[in-house]
Amino acid sequence: MLKKISAMKVRQNLGQVMNEVSLRGDEYIVERAGKPLVAIIPIEKYLEYQKELGGSTKQLEELQAEFGKGSVGEVVGAE
């Protein structure tokens, strides 16, 4: 379940938040002054994202090496 929480409330209840994320699979968006700053997600989901991004990151690094030292955005044509 995705929940929103203030940074202050996370500081006050970090243990409880960690338990809800690790044991129940809840996810949190931490906000400061009503603006989303970070997400707290289960480690399994984080590792899955890293695995998925690993292939993409490697491909971008290979393209960057092939086309010179431009930024990744320049290499893939983004502006």
Tell me the per-residue pLDDT of 27-66, one tens digit each, with 9 for 90 and over: 999 999 999 999 999 999 988 888 887 766 677 777 777 7
16: domain range?
A: 2-70
Question: What is the C-alpha separation between 39 and 30, in angstroms, rounded?
Answer: 6
- Look up residue 77 and give its DSSP letter: T
CATH at 22 = 3.40.1620.10
Tell whether 39 is covered by a domain.
Answer: yes
- Look up residue 78 and give its DSSP letter: -
Tell whether 18 is covered by a domain.
Answer: yes
Measured from the Cβ of residue 64, the count of other Cβ atoms closer than 10 Å reads 16
Question: What is the C-alpha separation between 40 and 1, in angstroms, rounded?
Answer: 12
Tell whether 77 is covered by a domain.
Answer: no
Domain count, the chain: 1
pLDDT in tens, 5-30: 999 999 999 999 999 999 999 999 99
- Look up residue 10 and give its DSSP letter: H
